[in-house]
Every structure is written in structure tokens, then in C-alpha cells.
Structure 1
Amino acid sequence: MDQTLLASIVLIALTIGLLASGVWVSVALLIVGMALMEFFTAAPMGSLIASTLWDSSWGWALTSLPLFVWMGEILFRTNLSSDMFRGLSPWLSRLPGGLLHVNIIGCGIMAAVAGSSAVTCATIGRMSVPELTRRGYPPHMTIGTLAGSGTLGLLIPPSIVMIVYGVTAEQSIGRLFIAGVLPGIVLIMLFMGYTAAWSLLNKGKLPPPEPRVGLLERINKSRSLIPVALLIGAVVGSIYGGIATPTEAATFGVVGALILAVFSRTLTWASFMDSLLTAVRTSCMISFIIGCAACLSIAVAFVDIPRTLATWVDSMQLSPYVLLTVLAAFVLVLGCFLEGISIIVLTSSVMLPMVQSAGIDLIWFGIFIVILIEAAQITPPVGFNLFVLQSITGKNIIAVTRAAIPYFLVLMVLLVLIAVFPSIVLVLPSFMNG
């Protein structure tokens, strides 16, 4: 049997076996990488693994990761979620679907704060589910809007998953952030459009519209959201304008979040330490996964799996659309069992050479992968947003999954849109080049 083929079989079998046994993703990647190098190459495994772990631990691009995580943790502990419902509801209550749109817009705002899908879903869900239930909104639509919109935490910058992809694929994190803005806005509009259409077709299932509120009262209720909106705009705008690198913008974001927490009187020594330690734990976990994935990537490269796969794909003469369809199905299947960061670091060494050989832009492909991972967040059995909503609502996983299906299909619509109109992703990053 060809050595590369045998190594590929060992790679797949050993990875699946270790993950199925409950071994940490990072440790599983490291073990597989060490096994491939030891048994299928003549390379000095020990020194290569040590140098790869060291090299992957001090990359400058990775320094923005803990800072953005910390910024989100600080704002997560303020009154932002309660302020959001009070501030958004007067503006959205008269739309078809009423206060269901608060879930969508609220998740969009929280996504820019947290950078995490599960945190976005949990924060908005804890605030909105009791309110919408009390007002008589259909539970399945409350759950569905949260399940779909909670995934915005991965697409709208600053996104932790985008940072991981940027480091793994050696792409500009700033350009990735900006590339996610327009698709994120389009996705919010698609979610709101579906919700409005459902509401118009099912008027009898919704409570009566909220009473009209004057313009001055709307502005008054929304004023607490202005500082956070300005902070988010300044962080993303400084990257887009070329004023700051992602790391510098993240530093500014942390300082701004601390100032907001002080003025909102939610910053105590206990909350400060809690946010800091949570950010450290999260960042260390992600960094360890990235380092171990780099070891696996080196091993896979030594065994020549990426070049062999790319040659095989080239020989099949697949069109880019067919290749993307195959990769999309592959990622969605993985998403049934793994979370987003693990999917990116596990598959990058194989997928990226194939995508590059097909002439697909890696910035565009990054957004494509992020949208797929968003969809995987609401697919069983390991859709994290489903578990979050199950704990918040008390519904069984089948009911939560059924409510999320229409919004999963909306995500698929967005995938088709960016494939047919790639400028949705690439138009804003192109200005950064100029």
C-alpha cells in the first residue's frame, strides 16, 4: 500500500478514535501529529514538535485573541443585556414580528461585543425569553430567532473563530474582520425578512402590537446603548481605516470596556478578576489547540498528504462550485461532532491546499467556512447553541432543533449568495488594499 495512503488512513482512524474516547482536542491533535512523524517520516520528531509548539505560541497576530476575549468578558458583566431589550424594543415593536426582532438585532450587537456564538445566544436569551414568553410570543419563534441570530457571534467582528482562521491560514485578521461585516449585515436582514414573512402569514399566532412610542422617548430609552455602539464602531473602524492593527484595536477595546464598566458601576474587584481569569482560561485553551494543530500540520506536510490530495482533486477536474459543495458537506458533518475552532485547526492542513489549487480566495473561503460553522452551531448532536437554548427554555432538544431548522436554511441561502456574488465578502477588504 502507498505510504501516503496508509498515513491518511492512520490519520483519520486515530483522530476519530481519540476524539470519540473523550481526549481533549488539542491533545488528540498532538498525539496524531507525533505518531505520523514517528512512524511515517525520518524527521527528528522531538525537536520538530518542540520548535513548532514554540513558533506557534508567539505569533504577533495571536496577541489580539486574549484581548478581544477579555473585552467581551468585561462587557458581558455590565448591564448591557437588560439595556439592550429596553433600548431596542421601542424601535422594533411595530415591525411585522414585533419584539422577535429584538433577538436578531440584539444578537448582532452582542456578537460585536462577545465574539462568541454561545455567549451571544446565552446573554440575549436569558434576557429576552422571559420577556417574550410573558408577552405571548410563540415559543418556537422565540427559540428559532435566538438559535439563528446567536450564530452571528462568529461572523460579525471581532470574531474569535476568524482570528483562529487568520492565524491558521496565514491571512490578515484585519481583512477577515472587515470581510465579515457585509455578510453579517446581509444575514441579519435575511433573518429579519424570514421572521417578518412568517409573522405576516401567521398574524393570529402573535400578540397585539406594542403601543406606539414617541421619538424622544425612543431616544431616551436607547441612550444607554450609545457608548457600547461607539466603542464597537471605534474598534472595528480603527482596523478598517488602517489606524490600528487588530491587536492595538483590541487593547483600545479593553480600555474602553473597563471605562464603560466603571461608569455603569458594574466593575468591582471580583468582577474584574473573574473577567480576567475567564479570558485567560479561554485564550489558553484556544492557543493550545492552535499549537497542537500546527504540529499536526507539520506532520501532515512531511507525509505529503496535502499535495497528494490537491493533485487528486485536480485530476478529478472538479469545478470550484462542486469542490465547495463537497467541502461544505464535509464541514457540516464535522460540525455535528466538533466545535468551530477544532474544525478549522483540524481541517486547514488538508482543505487550504485544495482551495488554493482551485484558485479560490482564502479571505473569501474564511467567511465561507465561518458561515458553515455558524450553521453547525444549530445542528445536533453537538450544536452548542441548541444546548444553551435547551437550558434557558426548558424545552427538549427535538423541539429546539425543529425551531432552529428555518434559520439553518437561511444560513444556507447566505452561502449561496456569497458563492454567486463573492463581492459581498470581498468588496470591503479590497478598499483596505487600496
Structure 2
Amino acid sequence: MLLLIILFLGLGIWVFSGLILVSIFSLAILADFPMDRIGMIAKSIIWRSSSAWELSAIPLFIWMGEIIFRTDISDRLFRGLSPLVQWMPGRLLHTNVLGCTLFAAVSGSTSATTATVGKITTGALAERNYSNSLSIGSLAGAGSLGLLIPPSIVMIIYGVLAEVSIAKLFAAGILPGLLVAFVYSMYIITRCTMNPELAPKETEPFSLKECISGLQNLLPVVFLIVLVLGSIYAGIATPSEAAAVGVLATFFVTIVMGSFSWKVIIEAAMGAIRTSCMVCSILIAAALLSTAIGYLHIPSQLVAVIESMGLTPYALLLILALFYVVLGFFLDGISIIVMSLPITLPLILQAGFDPIWYGVFLVLMIELAQMTPPVGFNLFILQGLTGQPIGTIVKAAFPFFLLMAAVVMVVSLFPSIALFLPQLMS
């Protein structure tokens, strides 16, 4: 099956087509199923996996992020944060980290987070002679928070595939996401304290009036975050219902701000449709692949092999972490989850790890993949925004890759960081 996956993806076939072909070949050749039975299995799996109610949150959250991307809400985010970080060593460099953290809480997408914040901050920081390396690196690292801080599209996908509570997954991602943002900001502070030239001082500091105005500019994003996440954790709405509320609230915010236009709404909807079709088609193909893997008894056989090796739980976790880093060189985050989860989740459960915690661990590993060449989406986005060679982008992102790897280690050693908030919901 691995050889088939490598073959089809290596030929440049679309991921969902490649997964479907691997599933059909595996059932027909390895399991010796007749084609009529494979057709019945495929029909049942495709209908069941595409009609899950939880999936309705995906296009809605994507649409919400697309609308924000196309209006001046994102510009207001930068203008609002700028006066608030003037007292910190690194100053406007922190707008990358804080801006991505806040935007991640309303978009759920790493590419949307990186592109939206990056299109504003990269030019502004370059004009003020801030360190190009720190500017690009902090954006590459913080942009990946779109996967971890709720509402996260990847967490919805994991929740559907692993059959765990999406609301609890969202809660589990909050503290680790804030920890990553804190570590990044501390790194910027340390670097700029050691070398103040990395973040030149502004000729005129922001006044108190400008700081108050900055807080007002943050109100639209804060309003959307509180409304969407608050409705989930208050028990008023499910994640799917909260996504619908979020879209309507975004309409309301754009109208109040004078940014509403049907052209923007339609363009955002078309962007959301394209992305959602890609995500959902991969999910459907992954469900069929999971079924094929189950019929071949691969998970149970792997569990038996791992047990015979006598690995400790953390030794298994280390092997899986290295496995995901290697996968991240070649695959995007959604593909990594849907292709690996049918195999790795039984191993994790057998080792005694909590599936909610494993969802956070997996998302952190995928965030690392966003910063690794040759298929690091954040790197490509930043290359397009800055015009810098990909080698320069990779070099700038590497310290932030190491920092996130350190956070993965901390969250692995202290799982309560991820599980504290979900346990309060129990």
C-alpha cells in the first residue's frame, strides 16, 4: 500500500484520486475482493463520510476567513496591535505573532492566516528596516497557528475521523496555541534585547490616544472570537452552528464597518467552495482508504508488532514524531492526517494516550510540516509575498521550527497543558 501511495502521488495525481486508486487496488489485489463488492463498499463509505453533519462547519469557517481576508478587518488588526507592542523589545515584530494568533481564532486556516497577516506586515516591517529574517521567520512560525487555535479546520477533520468531541478538541488547542505564541514572542524579545538593531525604534512613540484607538480597531476581531468560541463553550451552539453564527456575524461586522459588498461576498464564497471541495474530497477518499486498511487488518497487525518490540509509550511517540516530520517533507497537513490516522490512532490508544491529547500532538506535528521544504505551504506563501529565494525563507523559519519542536516536547511531557480545558467541560 505504501508503494502504491508513493507511486500515485509521485505521478502527480490529485491526492483524493490517488487515495481512491490505492484503496481500490488494495481491496482488489491484496484482499481479493470482487469489483461488485468493492463498488458496494465504496458507495456506502462515500455517502456516510460525505454526509457527516460535523463537516458542515468546514465551508462555513473557510467562508468566514475568506470574507475577512478580502475586507479591511485584517488591516485594522495590524493598526490595532501596533500601538500595543511599542514597549516590548522587538516592537512591531510582535504584530506577526499576535496578529496570527488573533486571526487564527477566526479563520481556522494556516494559509489564510499567513497570507492575510503577511500581506500587511511584511511590507510595513521592511519599510521600517526591521530584521528581514525575524520578520519572515516569525510569520512562518506564527502563521501555522491557524491549525491549532480554534476554530481549526484540521481539528474538525481529526474529530470526524477519530470520532471524538470537536468542542473538546477546540478547547485542547487553546493553551498549547497560546504557549507557542508566548515562546515565539519571548524568542523575539531575547533576540532584539541582544541586538536592538533588529527592531529599530520608532521616531515618534504612539500616544495614549493612538493606543485607545488601537483597541477600537481590535474590536471586530475580538467580537467574532468571543461570539464563535463563546457560543460553543457556553453550550449554546455546536461547532457547526457556531460556524454559521460566525458567518452571519462577519456579514454584520462588514456592514457596520462599511466594507460590505456583494462582490466581496461572492468572491469569498467561491474561494470557500474551492477549498471546501478539495478538503471534503480528500476526506471521502481517506475514509475509503481507512476501510481498505481495516479489511487488510493492518492496524491490528501493527499493534501486535509494536507490542512485540516492547517499546515504551514515549519511545512510540518519538518514532511517530519522526515519521510525521518525514511525511511533512512531501505532504500537506490534511493529507498527513487522513492517510496516517487509521494506522497511528490504534497504536496511540493501545499505548494509553488520550485521543483528545493526540489530536493536539498531531496538529503540532503538522504545524512543523508547514515550515519544512519542499512542501511547506507557509514557505511558498511567504516566498510569494516577499519575493525572497526559498532558501532564505527556510533559513529564517528554522529557529521557529526548533521552538515549536520544543513546545511539542513540553506538551508531550505535560499532557495536562492540552487536557486541562477539555476536562473542565466533562
TM-score normalised by L of structure 1:
0.95
Structure 1, unmatched stretches of 5+, are 1-10
CA distance in 2, matches of 1:242, 1:348: 29
Is 1:36 the counterpart of 2:29 in the alignment?
no
SS of corresponding position for 2:91: coil
Alignment of structure 1 residues 10-49 onto 2, 5 Å? 11-43=1-33, 44-49=37-42
Alignment of structure 1 residues 28-427 onto 2, 5 Å? 28-43=18-33, 44-209=37-202, 211-427=204-420
Whether the aligned pair in 1 keeps the contact of 2:130 and 2:200 (CA below 8 Å) is yes
CA distance in 2, matches of 1:432, 1:425: 13
Query: Would the alpha carbon gap of residues 210 and 124 (structure 1) be closer, same or farther in structure 2, given more than 3 Å must change?
Result: farther
Measure how far apart 1:315 and its partner are.
1.2
Deviations 1:284-325 (A, max 9, x none): 111111111111111110010110001111111111111111
Aligned residue identity for 1:262? I
CA distance in 1, matches of 2:280, 2:377: 20
CA distance in 1, matches of 2:56, 2:304: 35
Aligned residue identity for 2:83? P
CA distance in 2, matches of 1:99, 1:276: 32
Query: Would the alpha carbon gap of residues 63 and 99 (structure 1) be closer, same or farther in structure 2, given more than 3 Å must change?
Result: same
SS of corresponding position for 1:266: coil
Q: Which moved more, 1:268-277 or 1:339-348?
A: 268-277
CA distance in 2, matches of 1:167, 1:286: 13
Deviations 1:365-407 (A, max 9, x none): 0000101110110111111111111111111111110000110
Whether the aligned pair in 1 keeps the contact of 2:172 and 2:422 (CA below 8 Å) is yes
Where does structure 1 differ by over 4 angstroms across 4 or more consecutive aligned residues?
A: none
Deviations 1:244-270 (A, max 9, x none): 110111111010011111122222121
Whether the aligned pair in 2 keeps the contact of 1:241 and 1:432 (CA below 8 Å) is no
CA distance in 1, matches of 2:111, 2:241: 26
Whether the aligned pair in 2 keeps the contact of 1:180 and 1:425 (CA below 8 Å) is yes
Measure how far apart 1:281 and its partner are.
1.6
Aligned residue identity for 1:365? Y
CA distance in 2, matches of 1:272, 1:80: 14
CA distance in 2, matches of 1:209, 1:257: 34
CA distance in 2, matches of 1:205, 1:354: 46
SS of corresponding position for 2:260: coil
Query: Would the alpha carbon gap of residues 210 and 343 (structure 1) be closer, same or farther in structure 2, given more than 3 Å must change?
Result: farther
CA distance in 1, matches of 2:410, 2:233: 24
SS of corresponding position for 1:360: coil
CA distance in 1, matches of 2:157, 2:227: 22
Deviations 1:151-206 (A, max 9, x none): 11111111111111111111111111111011111111000001100111112343
